[in-house]
Structure formats: structure tokens, C-alpha cells
Amino acid sequence: MERRKLFVYFISLMFVVLLAGLLNLNVLQGAKLRRLSKSNCIRLIPQSGARGNILDRNGEVIAGNKISYDVMVLPQESSQVDRAISAVSRILGTGEKELKAAFRKNFVSSSLPAGVADNIDPKKAIVLEEYKAEEPSIIIQPKPLRYYPHGSSASHVIGYVNEIDRWRLTKLEDYGYKTKDIVGFGGVEEKYDYYLRQEEGGLSVEVNHRGKFTRVLGFQPPVNGKDVQLTLDIRMQKIAESALSGRKGSVILMDPQSGAILALANYPDYNPSVFVNRRTSAINSLFNNPDSPLINRAIQSSYPPASIFKAVVASAGLELKKINLSTNFICRGSMMVGARKFSCWDTHGAQDIIQALSHSCDVFFYRTGLLLGGQNIHDYAIKLGLARPTGFDLPYETGGFIPSPLWRKINKFQKWFDGDTANLSIGQGDCLTTPMQLTAMMAVFANQGYLPVPYIIKAVGGLDLEAKKKRLSRVAFKKSTFEAVGKGLREVVSDEKGTGNVLSALPVAVAGKTGTAQVSRGLTHAWFVGFFPYDKPKYVICVFLENGGPGHAATVIARRIIEEMNKQGLI
């Protein structure tokens, strides 16, 4: 019987072995196997929300979204990935090496699909979707992508979107930005990125052994970004752009009563969609172009204001009573300041303030400037919003610069000479302003007493920001000063010899000032800054042409714009 007892023990031992095996799998290897079980059947499918739209004041989409298709590959088994990639490569006609490099770059975890090709042709997406039956690790992911229905229109206002760079990432990490996020660069896209930004959602789904969907385990809905509405009017924007066509410079149209920007055009511009399509050569040529098309000239670069600055000197002279309406200076084509001869561009004879503005007589303003002194001119420039950023919504606004005796003494340890004052009086010398600053300054003369903070954001996510902010600050000049300067600006156009006389033929009464800025190299910069209609100003217009020749050139463009606006009934 010994054998039978032994045998029963042996059988019992077998059951002990089974229990031990069970214990081993459940307890010792339990965690590992549970993880494997999950990765077996759980797939995370990212679902991206759409970035907020950028609309013009009438709700017209300037930057919207359209559906694009990305190809992703599930990194489950390496052999599968290779097979899937070679299949994708066959269908897309892209090199396997490229796809593999993209896959490695985008790989995050084994349960998360990694992208290999972005924004593919919809037809190929369909073909690949069909192919999925054979290669379940291929995933076609629809994704909203930035789309610009108006092409390069308003490109500097909008900015562009691209993968976040290291500098922005270090700055924005704390706000939930991650590597490989698509963020705005420049313009509204950058400044309002936090609002425009979508929240990524995702599905975690269960799949069977073939990778076929069986059920949804969890769903975090993607949240679309908030729409940003601009004060921009895309019609005016287009008029401004076509008027500028091919000439380096910028055009700004602003509502002088509020400071709302209606058009902001720059040339050279760029098509933001090259960043969406990742067309590397096009992007590189944008960055390497010596004309720097990515620069928003209206706010990011500053130029000598030249004769536009005479409006500042005129107001300062009248306010400080250095001159009055009957003051006359005689222009003989030049005058001596110290030992240096300062010339005028013409010989105007006797000029009062109105005529001097209208004819842009330099001698009159040399003399007024010398009466005022450099510091006073500087102070009045400050009052009119120069030498500091206007507070405009878009990023990277530069402040410009107005020199003063005090600044000279402190920073350069040099004396201020009368010649410097004379130079400053006609907006030359070290004096630098942005087109936006001059637009805001001109608005003060248009609305007679209020310096607006230019803005371009009308509403964010349906919340009207326009109504919330009081943006105008009082410029406490006497009414007679505004009237006199205003009349002078009007005469620029209406006077037969006025520098802006080409605008007199227009059906609307325009007032403004031309400017021709001397530069150390190349052609002069051309300016025209004005407002219209004269009686009840609705628009401030600023046309600036970089190395565009005399102010007349800018005035002609301003005429073209106003003509076209009138034709379209926008005035």
C-alpha cells in the first residue's frame, strides 16, 4: 500500500504546484501582466479640438480651420511598425527613412499612436483607411488645421502657428504648454494664444486582437479654442493691401473716436499657411529675406517721422504761446542756425502757421522750434503719445524715440545744440516713430483732444472687450490749437500748393500731413498721415512707404485707398 499513499501524495503535490503557479501569476507577476493586459486592448486616440477662429469685425473668418488627415502608427510590436510604415510609404510615396524618423520623433508611449506623416491628401487618407483592415496599427487621424481663406491678407495681424520653440516653452510651461504644442507666433495668434488655444481631448477605447474597436472606455471631449474677433474690416484691409501692392511699407486705418484699427497692411507680407504645411524651403526663405517679410512694420520698426512731426511742433508753439495764428516767418529757402545752413525744400516767402503746415515749410518750423527749445518739443511729443509704445494689442511693439537735451546730457555726455533743435523741429535727427504712433497722434487732431490706445481685439470668445475699456486719454490742448492745426492739416489737401493737393479731388474732405524722411542710405521714406471726412472724422489713415520716395508717393496711395473705400461705400 505504500505505493498508493505515495501516489496520492504525488497527486496532491500536483495541486499544490497549480496553486503555486496561480499565486505566481496573480501576485508575483500580477502587476506586469495587468499592464500587459491593458496595453493589449486599450488604445488612446487623441482628438484635437480646433484652434479658435480669428474673425474680422463683421464675423468674416480670417484664420479658420479645415480638416486635415494625419497618419499615425501604433507602436505595439516593432515588426508591425515596420510593416505599417512600409505600407504607408508605398501609398504616400514618401521615403521610409523619413517616416521612420518622424515616428521616432513623435513616439511617446507604446499605447499612444505616433504620427508619421501630417496633412496628407484626402484621397490617400481614404486608401490608407481601407488598408487598415490589413494593418490595424495604421491610424488615420482627422485633425483641424489652420486655414487662411484670405491667403496672406492681414498676415502680420494674425501671425502664424508653428510648433512651440524652446524659448516660448520655458516661458509657458507653467501654463500647461507642452513640447510639440502648436502655438502662435507674432500677431493675434501669439498674443491671444491662451484663448485661441484648443484643449486636446481623447478617447480611450478597447480593441480586440485585430485592433478593431469594441467599446469606448473613457472620453475627454476636446475643447475648441475661443474665437477672437478683430476690429479689422477685411474689405478695408484688402483695399489697403491692394493699394500698397508691392511697395515696402504699411498702411493703417483707424477709427479716431475709439482707436479701433480697421486695417493694418504691411508689405512685404507672407502667407501663414506655409507654416501649417511645413514647407521648409518657403519658411527658410521668409526668414532669410533681407526685406524681412515677417516684420510688422506698422508697430515693430520705427522711422523718422519727418514733416508729420510738424503737427507736434505747431501745437507746442501754439500751446506755449511762442507763436500765434498771426505769427509769420519768411522763408527764403534756407536759414542759418549757428554756423550751419538749414535749408527748406522750397522758397515759400511769408508763412503763417496754417500755410506753413500746408506747404510743409521747414524754415517756419526751424524758427518755431528754436523758440520752443528741444525739451519743450520733446515734452509735447510725449503728450501726443510718441516715444513710447502706444499700448496696441499686438506683441513686439517698439516705442520709437524722441531725443531731448536732458537725454543727450545723461546718456551721451554731450551738449544739445540749436542745430539739434532745428533737426528735431522737422522730425529728423535721432527722432524715430512707428506708423502706429503717428496714427494715434493724428487721431488726437481728428477727435480734438483724445489720445486713443489703438486696439484690434473686438471680442474674445463672444465677450465684447470694446465696451469694457475706456481707452482714450485726454490731451488738454486749447480748442483754438486743435482748430488751427486741424485747419492747417486740411489746407495741406485743399490748398492748391498744399503738399497733399492730389487728395483734393476726392469726394470726401481729407486732412493730413505728408512727410519725406531723409535716411542715411537709399531713397527717402514717404509718409502720409491724415484723417477724413474733415468735418466728422471717421478714419485716420497712415500710409508709410519705406524708401518709397517723396511724401507724394504715399499721398497717391492714400488717394487710391480713399477712392476705393468711397467706391465701396465704406465711408
Partner 1 sequence: MRNSFIRILVIALVIALIGVLSIYSSTYQKEGALWQDIYKRQILWLALGVVCFFLMSGFNYRKLWDASYFIYGLALFLLFLVFSLGIIRLGAQRWLKFAWFNFQPSEFVKLAVIIFLARYFSRKSESDISLLSRKFGIFRGIALPFIFVAIPMFLVIEQPDLGSGLMILLAFVSLLYLTDVRLKYIIVLLILLVAPLPLFWNFLRPYQKERLLVFLNPNIDPLGAGYTVIQSRIAIGSGGFLGKGWLSGTQSQLYFLPESHTDFIFATFSEQWGFLGSSLLIFLYYLLIRQGFIIAKRTQDSFGKLLAYGISILLALQVFINIAMNMGLAPVVGLPLPLLSYGGSSILVTFIALGILVNIDRTRAVF
Contacting positions for partner 1 (CB under 8 A): 3-4, 7-8, 11-12, 14-15, 17-19, 21-27, 29-30, 32-34, 36-38, 40-41, 77, 79, 206-210, 214
Give CA torsion, residues 316, 319, 321, 324, to 10 deg: 90
DSSP string, 169-217: HHHHGGGT--TT-EEEESHHHHHTHHHHPPBPEEEEEEE-TTS-EEEEE
Which lies closer to partner 1 via its Cβ, residue 9 or residue 396?
A: 9
Q: How far is the CB of 79 from partner 1 (least distance, A)?
A: 8
* Helix or strand holding residue 114 (H, E): strand 114-120
37 CB-near residues (< 8 Å, 6+ apart): none
Q: How far is the CB of 23 from partner 1 (least distance, A)?
A: 7
User: Which of 422, 3, 378, 56 has its CA nearest to residue 233?
Assistant: 56
Q: How far is the CB of 210 from partner 1 (least distance, A)?
A: 7
Q: Is 211 helix (H, G, I), strand (E, B) or coil?
A: coil
Q: Measured between alpha carbons, how far is 440 from 550 in angstroms, rounded to an integer? A: 22
Which lies closer to partner 1 via its Cβ, residue 12 or residue 170?
A: 12
Q: Measured between alpha carbons, how far is 93 from 278 in angstroms, rounded to an integer? A: 18
Q: Measured between alpha carbons, how far is 213 from 96 in angstroms, rounded to an integer? A: 28
Q: How far is the CB of 11 from partner 1 (least distance, A)?
A: 5
Q: How far is the CB of 185 from partner 1 (least distance, A)?
A: 44
Which lies closer to partner 1 via its Cβ, residue 36 or residue 67?
A: 36
Q: How far is the CB of 31 from partner 1 (least distance, A)?
A: 9
Q: Residue 204 pairs with which residues in a beta bridge?
A: 44, 218
Which lies closer to partner 1 via its Cβ, residue 29 or residue 170?
A: 29
Which lies closer to partner 1 via its Cβ, residue 43 or residue 248?
A: 43
Q: How far is the CB of 106 from partner 1 (least distance, A)?
A: 25
Place of cell 488655444: 197
Cβ atoms of 147 and 64 within 8 Å: the answer is yes
Give CA torsion, residues 234, 237, 238, 243, to 10 deg: 170
Type of residue found at 526: A
Q: How far is the CB of 39 from partner 1 (least distance, A)?
A: 10
Q: How far is the CB of 6 from partner 1 (least distance, A)?
A: 9
Burial class of residue 552 (count of CB atoms within 10 Å of its CB; 0-12, 13-18, 19+):
middle
Which lies closer to partner 1 via its Cβ, residue 84 or residue 545?
A: 84
Which lies closer to partner 1 via its Cβ, residue 7 or residue 396?
A: 7
Query: What Å distances lie between residue 394 and 156, 300, 397, 398, 457, CA to CA?
Result: 9, 10, 7, 11, 9
Query: What Å distances lie between residue 411 and 379, 403, 415, 424, CA to CA?
Result: 18, 11, 11, 18
Which lies closer to partner 1 via its Cβ, residue 35 or residue 97?
A: 35
Type of residue found at 50: A
Q: How far is the CB of 84 from partner 1 (least distance, A)?
A: 14
Which lies closer to partner 1 via its Cβ, residue 134 or residue 199?
A: 134
Which lies closer to partner 1 via its Cβ, residue 208 or residue 220?
A: 208
Q: Residue 201 pairs with which residues in a beta bridge?
A: 47
Crossing angle (nearest 10°) for helices 479-494 and 310-319: 150
Which lies closer to partner 1 via its Cβ, residue 23 or residue 133?
A: 23
Q: Is 194 helix (H, G, I), strand (E, B) or coil?
A: helix
Q: How far is the CB of 238 from partner 1 (least distance, A)?
A: 56
Which lies closer to partner 1 via its Cβ, residue 17 or residue 101?
A: 17
User: Which of 233, 58, 229 has its CA nearest to residue 154?
Assistant: 233
Q: Residue 160 pairs with which residues in a beta bridge?
A: 185
Which lies closer to partner 1 via its Cβ, residue 14 or residue 336?
A: 14
Instruction: Dig out the grid coordinates for 293 from the structure.
Output: 517679410
DSSP string, 517-571: E--SSSSPEEEEEEEESSSS--EEEEEEETT--SHHHHHHHHHHHHHHHHHTT--
Q: How far is the CB of 37 from partner 1 (least distance, A)?
A: 3
Query: What Å distances lie between residue 495 and 87, 351, 504, CA to CA?
Result: 75, 13, 8
Q: How far is the CB of 129 from partner 1 (least distance, A)?
A: 22
Total residues belonging to the chain: 571
